[in-house]
């Protein structure tokens, strides 16, 4: 039946014997597709009204001096919340796009040096001189993958480091070879994460402290996006962190993604 999705599992059983388990997962997959489509449709429908609201808020804000002082704080709040809602919608659309593309569509040879320097520039712009940010490129290794997806995953990690590190903190970005693999990592001296939260960080909307995340412009979807991107590239995410001391987020790329020198 072409409509059916089956999952096969082979389990070693006694000596030289195998147990083959075949499960019909059609219903689970159908519900998952419905959920994904629903989120994509809702996000898409919300985009237009939000653009209109944002546009008119811009127009009003351009009418210099015409907003009374009493109204200004409410107006600022409306603008900030509109921006936040727009970010959530864009992230939800990105997630559903990533979920529905099982394979990479725009795979190419990526020269890492310019990408890493762009990441550093963006991190400095976000930090506005409040942190010391350094890039350590220890290898000339390049990658095969989607430039846009990988830039987005790496930039999520660098912007998290900036957002969760108090002013005067230090952020180090590394590009290193480890045997056959190559590792991108971001280390910060920020607020850190308690061990119990680590396994759940890549879940949608999971935040250690939702108030703080919201204040720093977070949507709670960043690491979920990172997880999907890494899955497309057969790469893994490692997180080491100590509450109050800082964190290190690393992306480990397998040898199959590394371009020959
Ligand atoms: P958000 O948009 O809330 O930052 P993410 O999915 O990017 O969402 O991250 C999930 C949560 O993981 C964050 O809310 C924050 O609590 C925690 N987190 C991520 N990166 C760091 C970091 N570098 N230092 C401390 N906490 C972090």
pLDDT in tens, the chain (261 residues): 777 889 899 998 888 889 999 999 899 988 988 988 999 999 999 999 999 999 999 888 888 777 788 888 898 899 999 999 999 999 999 999 998 887 788 999 999 999 999 999 999 999 999 999 999 999 999 999 999 999 999 999 999 999 999 999 999 999 999 999 999 999 999 999 999 999 999 999 999 988 877 788 889 999 999 999 999 999 999 999 999 999 999 999 999 999 987
- Going by C-alpha positions, the residue among 248, 229, 254, 237 that lies closest to residue 178 is 254
What does the pLDDT read at residue 115?
A: 98
Quick count: other Cβ atoms within 10 Å of Cβ 192? Answer: 17
- Going by C-alpha positions, the residue among 160, 47, 28, 43 that lies closest to residue 96 is 43
Atom of ligand 1 nearest to the CA of 208: 16
What the block records as the tokens of 13 is 């059983």
Nearest Cα residue to atom 21 of ligand 1:
160
Largest pairwise CA distance in the chain: 83
What the block records as the tokens of 56 is 């008119």
- Rounded Cα distance, 237 and 154, in Å: 11
DSSP state of 259: P
- Rounded Cα distance, 141 and 146, in Å: 16
Ligand 1 centroid to residue 96 C-alpha, Å: 20
Given the DSSP bridges, would you call strands 17-24 and 6-13 parallel, antiparallel or unpaired? antiparallel
Query: 185 and 136 in contact (C-beta within 8 Å)?
Result: no
Pocket mutation for ligand 1, best pick of 85, 191, 193, 238 (most atoms within 8 Å of C-beta): 193
Pocket mutation for ligand 1, best pick of 91, 156, 222 (most atoms within 8 Å of C-beta): 222
What does the pLDDT read at residue 111?
A: 97
DSSP state of 130: S
What does the pLDDT read at residue 63?
A: 81
DSSP state of 140: -
The beta strands (E) that lie in the chain are given as 6-13, 17-24, 107-110, 132-137, 143-146, 170-178, 181-188, 236-242, 246-253
What the block records as the tokens of 18 is 């195998």
3-state DSSP call for residue 17?
strand
Nearest Cα residue to atom 7 of ligand 1:
222
- Going by C-alpha positions, the residue among 110, 127, 51, 115 that lies closest to residue 83 is 51
Quick count: other Cβ atoms within 10 Å of Cβ 32? Answer: 12
- Rounded Cα distance, 252 and 176, in Å: 10
């Amino acid at each position: 039946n072409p409509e059916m999705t089956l999952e096969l599992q082979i389990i070693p059983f006694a000596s030289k014997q195998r147990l083959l388990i075949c499960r019909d997962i059609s219903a689970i997959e159908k519900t998952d597709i419905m959920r994904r489509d629903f989120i994509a449709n809702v996000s898409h429908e919300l985009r237009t009204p939000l653009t209109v609201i944002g546009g008119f808020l811009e127009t009003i804000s351009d009418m210099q001096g015409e907003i009374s002082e009493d109204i200004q704080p409410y107006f600022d709040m409306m603008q900030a919340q509109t921006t936040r809602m727009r970010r959530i919608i864009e992230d939800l659309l990105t997630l559903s796009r990533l979920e529905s593309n099982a394979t990479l569509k725009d795979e190419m040879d990526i020269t890492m040096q310019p990408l890493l320097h762009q990441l550093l520039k963006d991190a400095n712009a976000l930090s506005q001189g409040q942190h010391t940010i350094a890039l350590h490129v220890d290898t000339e290794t390049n990658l095969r993958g989607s430039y846009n997806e990988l830039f987005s995953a790496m930039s999520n990690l660098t912007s998290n480091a900036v957002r969760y590190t108090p002013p005067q903190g230090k952020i180090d970005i590394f590009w290193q070879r480890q045997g056959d693999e190559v590792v991108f990592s971001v280390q910060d001296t920020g607020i850190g994460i308690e061990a119990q939260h680590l396994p759940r960080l890549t879940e949608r909307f999971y935040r250690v402290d939702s108030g703080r995340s919201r204040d720093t412009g977070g949507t709670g979807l960043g690491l979920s996006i990172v997880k999907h991107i890494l899955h497309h590239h057969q790469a893994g995410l490692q997180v080491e962190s100590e509450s109050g001391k800082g964190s290190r987020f690393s992306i480990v790329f397998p040898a199959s993604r590394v371009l020959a020198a």
